[in-house]
């Protein structure tokens, strides 16, 4: 099980990005959360199997049609006991 934190920069707020990430995570069985940050970035904390996480990051890198991901900062984090993937407000 891998646990990672992603911070996505670019046009990632106001374009349905959190809902896109939520749907991608649920489709792949990823657990964790996504939220907007005050600086205009989006933060994701996700955990899943190695192959699944590779597919997940590829999907969120592309984003929804109106988004433009310019950069993704990726860090390993401690595994949590998440039961699902949620959108935090």
What's the rounded Cα separation, in Å, for the pair 2 and 46? 8
Domain residues of the chain, as ranges? 2-87
Residue 89: predicted pLDDT: 82
Residue-level pLDDT at 73: 97
Identify the architecture of domain 2-87 in CATH: 2-Layer Sandwich (3.30)
- Is 18 in the active site? yes
Are the C-beta atoms of 61 and 68 separated by less than 8 Å?
A: no
Extract the runs of DSSP E, i.e. beta strands, from the chain.
2-11, 31-36, 42-48, 68-76, 85-87
| Catalytic residue flag (residue 36) | yes
54-85 per-position pLDDT tens digit: 999 999 999 999 999 999 999 999 999 999 99
Q: Which of 36, 55, 61, 89 is catalytic?
A: 36
């Amino acid at each position: 099980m891998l646990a990672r934190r992603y911070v996505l920069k670019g046009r990632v707020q106001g374009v349905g990005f959190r809902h896109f990430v939520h749907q991608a995570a649920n489709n792949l069985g990823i657990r964790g959360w996504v939220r907007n940050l005050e600086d205009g970035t989006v933060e994701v904390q996700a955990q899943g199997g190695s192959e699944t996480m590779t597919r997940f990051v590829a999907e969120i890198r592309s984003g929804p049609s109106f988004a433009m991901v310019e950069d993704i900062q990726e860090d390993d984090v401690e595994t949590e006991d998440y039961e699902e993937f949620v959108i935090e407000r």
